[in-house]
Structure 1
Amino acid sequence: MKTDAHILIVDDDQDILVASKLLLKRQFSQVTICNRPEQIPKLFSENDFDVILLDMNFGPGESSGEQGFYWLDKILNIKPDSIIVMITAHGGVDVAVEAMKLGATDFIAKPWQNEKVIATLSTAVQLKKSRTEAENLKVANQTLVQVTNQLNQVQAQEIISQSATMTNVQSLIARAAPTDANVLILGENGTGKELAANALHNQSKRCNNIFMSVDLGAIAESLFESELFGHKKGAFTGAHHDRVGKLQAANGGTLFLDELGNLPLHLQAKLLTVLEQRQVTPLGANKAVPFDVRVIAATNMKKTELTNESKFRQDLLFRLNTVEINLPPLRERSEDILPIAQHYLTLYCKKYGKASKGISKDAKNAILHDSWPGNIRALRHAIERAVILTEHDELTLSDFQLSSPEQSKKPNINNLPTKPDVNNQLSTISDDVSVSPVNEGELNLEAIEKHAISTALKKHRYNISHSAKELGLTRAALYRRMEKHGL
């Protein structure tokens, strides 16, 4: 079967042209011959050649190779990625080697052996295909990065804020973003840590490269190195293919490490080593691969916990918190609650094909006075649920499942005893955090599940990782159930 390739042969000897065409057309789909090198520019304008077979000398008595050098340079100027195989006389090996230094791929000496010619050109064709595939992959990768960044910019909308606290945060982001300094973002769950990370990336010099988010809380300890560092085929059971780690995949861009506080101490040490050396060795590999990423990390751990050596490595903390950004909870930026609610109201009315709606005065008052333990995420879910369920032209208090201002002043989870009676733990937590108890004798699984999830979320102040662990669920499974029950 013929190889799908177009070969151009340039030689002033008509006999060689005819003989070589007869030989090569049995192996390659298309062969073009040329006995006048001055026609090369015209041929290149009309054809796309995979390999060019170019003689070193044209005209009787020529042996210096100067003409071959000239046309080699001419072809490379017309098409820099051309694969060129030089044809030289038996004694002109030194000249052919010089041609390879100038950009030729290989050479064939006259008189040649047919097997040698076919083998050399077949190898050259494979090289051409490999280069083409690599270039196509490079272009595709650049396109994917651009599309991904555009999607991130659409999804990661501008931070909505009117409060003085958030004005200071945005000022800090604007100053830190243009640098390559590592940034640590602190804040409760739902305060917008990934949104802040996106803002840092979009305002940085790396904005045209990839922004890769890694949820460390969702990666099993046994898969940590494979996910972040990559692995080679056969490195462990089930490693059927090479895998590029997140650090290499984010090369040139920004790596966002979310839920950093969930990383065990022994894995913190491995992460620290890689970040210090700026090179990573995939599992099963012997050679380290350098990488260039800007690291932005985020955690819901309090600063007091981060500075506790028994919970977090201080050398890793110093590596990551060159710049530290603290995102305030929603209850401390009340000026932003209604603008954020209005943003999501507009968004979900459009998403669900409903007419534009307002928010009633009573509903606004309730929204402003709610403690929002789940912060912006909880507010967003509340607005989405209200848009779906409302039967009015505006969202009313009955469309929300919010505690009254008086209820919101009840003691919160921080006032719970540090070691509650295990037998009465659920009922105690339920009373303190104002979770509606399941009716006595209630056997409806949906209601029991919702009650258990609400209790766990309140107990752990909406820390998804801790709540999921107590409930025996994965983070993804807990998120699905929260959506299911409107939590």
Structure 2
Amino acid sequence: MEDRLRQKKGNILIVDDDAGILTSAQLFLKQYYSNVYVELNPEKIKTHIETKSIDIVLLDMNFQKGKNEGKDGFKYLAEILNIAPDILVIFMTAYGDIEMAVQALKQGAIDFVTKPWKNEKFLTTMETAIKLVESNKRFDELKNVSAYQSEKEAKEIEGFIGNSAEFTRVKQAMDKVSETDASVLLLGENGTGKGLAAKYIHQNSLRAGKPLITIDMGALSDNLIESELFGHEKGAFTDAHQQKIGRLELANRGTLFLDEIGNLSSASQAKLLSVLQSRTFNRLGSNKEIEIDIRLICATNMPIYDMIAEGQFRQDLLYRINTVEVRMPSLSERVQDIPLLLNHYLATIKTKYKKHNLYIADDQVDQLKRMLWPGNIREFQHAIERAVILAEGNELFATDFQNFKTEVTQPLQLGSLNLRDMEIQHIKRAMALHNGNITHAAKELGIDRLALHRRLEKYAL
């Protein structure tokens, strides 16, 4: 009863030609709802709707003395739904009008209240209607968010560009897999664009109009991961003050992107595997099974196969998440794409900071291609933004990219110091830099063309 006595949000309009009914209903409902309006003249319903955010209309069925066939009620019901189809209409009717009330339900009313009413039943009817209002609003919000996210994702994937051989290979694979519902595992270093690749796959899939829901597994503890994935019921644990819908449920009929999946603990891996096998799950604190229909995309920068060999990642889970596996190339493997990426990000960032006259000469772009970008595309994009912000004139120079590193002054940042690995990396980088031209690559490496040929054969490059 205490919960009921707390006023809840809700804009209710009561329309009846009996002033006593209006006063009685208003006094009763004002105990529970924040805004309760009354109106004797049904012709003014439109004015109320246009000037107030009406959620529910309580509407009498008859407004003419001696008339009880309900024509007035049906007339104003149609007008209300025509003006504002989201408004919920509840009829108020005498006991003898039940058949008409049932007919009204077929024409768009959601319920009816008999006069004289019993307070408990009247309040239950209103509470049900208010819950439906709240549910509809949440649904509309989710639709709006989904539409905004889709538009944002579509804008972001404009940056998923390149014409290098490495990028072309990756994009062709994604174009093929996008048309299916196959699970995709994206591998690659930090900053190579795995998140952008996931958005590209989703936006080009049959689920593009549905949500893409992302969870960064690396940023959550085990307990939080379960709550984020599965959701929970009110009271499921100490801090569960209200029900929470999990990401699995939000992603239903859409795509779920699990970033940094290599960080999942053994226990969380087992639970995720169970969900992927059964396509059902339970919210924490509930025994009710919820079915899901999702497309799964996962990503990691960790050596997943080494982790399996060491018992840190389940092989059976890997089978579930990598129907198709795509390795994202590092920026050092696609240096030919640097001018294209530079033009794209520079155009966007110049607009953002209203520095439309900025430009960079070709010889400076060549210097950017020779720099090391251990943070890959993410570092490159941030460096461009920093250069634009700090630029003093209209021309940008390679030296404007703070903390830049050249191959002359900095060693390659490799996971291994093995000489063979370093030589392979140098050769790959030189070949990428010169778009596969052996003569130019050999000159870049300081060796003759024949020596480079021998090394390409030796390392099967």
Structure 1 residues 327 and 410: CA distance shift in structure 2, 3 A: closer
Distance 1:133 1:234, change over 3 A: closer
Separation of aligned partners in 1, 2:140 and 2:161: 35
Q: 1:105 aligns with which of 106, 111, 117?
A: 111
Contact conserved, 2:15 with 2:22, CA < 8 A, in 1? no
- DSSP-derived class of the 1:268 partner: helix
Which amino acid is 1:83 matched to?
I
1:157 aligns to what SS in structure 2? helix
Aligned residues: 390
**For 1:209, what is the secondary structure of its paired residue?**
coil
Q: TM-score, normalised by structure 1?
A: 0.67
Deviations 1:382-412 (A, max 9, x none): 3344445565633145755444444567694
- 5+ long unaligned stretches in structure 2: 30-35, 50-55, 420-461
State the secondary structure of the residue aligned to 2:241: coil
The one-letter code of the counterpart of 2:222 is E
Query: Are residues 367 and 108 of structure 1, via their aligned partners in 2, closer, same or farther at CA, if it must alter by over 3 Å?
Result: closer
Higher mean C-alpha deviation, range 262-271 or range 394-403: 394-403
Q: 1:159 corresponds to which residue?
A: 160
The Cα offsets for residues 118-144 of structure 1, whole Å up to 9 and x where unpaired, read as: 554444444443333333332233222
Q: Secondary structure at the match of 1:285?
A: coil
**Candidates 358, 363, 373, aligned match of 2:360:** 358
How big is each residue's C-alpha offset from its partner over 1:145-196, in whole Å with a ceiling of 9 and x where there is no partner? 2223323333443312011332232222223224333221122211110111
Partner of 1:343: 344
Name the structure 2 match of 1:7: 14
Residue 61 of structure 2: aligned partner: 54
The alpha carbon displacement at 1:378 in A equals 2.7
Q: TM-score, normalised by structure 2?
A: 0.70
Alignment of 1:13-28 (within 5 A): 20=21, 23-24=24-25, 27=28
Structure 1, unaligned runs of 5 or more: 11-16, 35-39, 418-487
**1:328 Cα deviation after fit:** 1.5
Q: Which residue of 1 aligns with 2:186?
A: 185
Q: Residue 217 of structure 2 aligns with which residue?
A: 216
CA RMSD, aligned part only?
4.0
With over 3 angstroms needed to count, the CA separation of the structure-2 counterparts of 1:171 and 1:306, relative to structure 1, is: farther
Q: How far is 1:375 from its partner?
A: 1.6
CA distance in 2, matches of 1:21, 1:351: 56
The correspondence of residues 84-123 of structure 1 with structure 2, limited to 5 A, is: 84-89=91-96, 102=106, 105-106=111-112, 108=114, 112=116, 116-123=117-124
- Alpha-carbon distance in structure 2 between the residues aligned to 1:44 and 1:348: 50
Match status 1:273 vs 2:274: yes
CA distance in structure 2 between the partners assigned to 1:173 and 1:140 by the alignment: 31
How far apart are residue 257 of structure 1 and its match? 0.8
Pair 254,415 (structure 1): closer, same or farther in 2 beyond 3 Å: same
Higher Rg: 1
**How many percent of aligned residue pairs carry the same amino acid?**
32
Please report how far the alpha carbon of residue 309 of structure 1 lies from its aligned counterpart in structure 2 after TM superposition: 6.8
1:441-481 Cα deviation digits (max 9, x unpaired): xxxxxxxxxxxxxxxxxxxxxxxxxxxxxxxxxxxxxxxxx
- Name the amino acid aligned to 2:144: T
Verify the 8 A CA contact 1:360 1:395 in the aligned structure 2.
Answer: no
Match of 1:414 in 2: 416
Contact preservation (8 Å) 1:86, 1:108: yes
SS in 2 for 1:373: coil
In terms of mean alpha carbon deviation, does 407-416 or 259-268 score higher?
407-416
Native 8 Å contact 1:51 1:125 kept in 2: no
Q: Distance in 2 between matches of 1:370 and 1:154?
A: 28
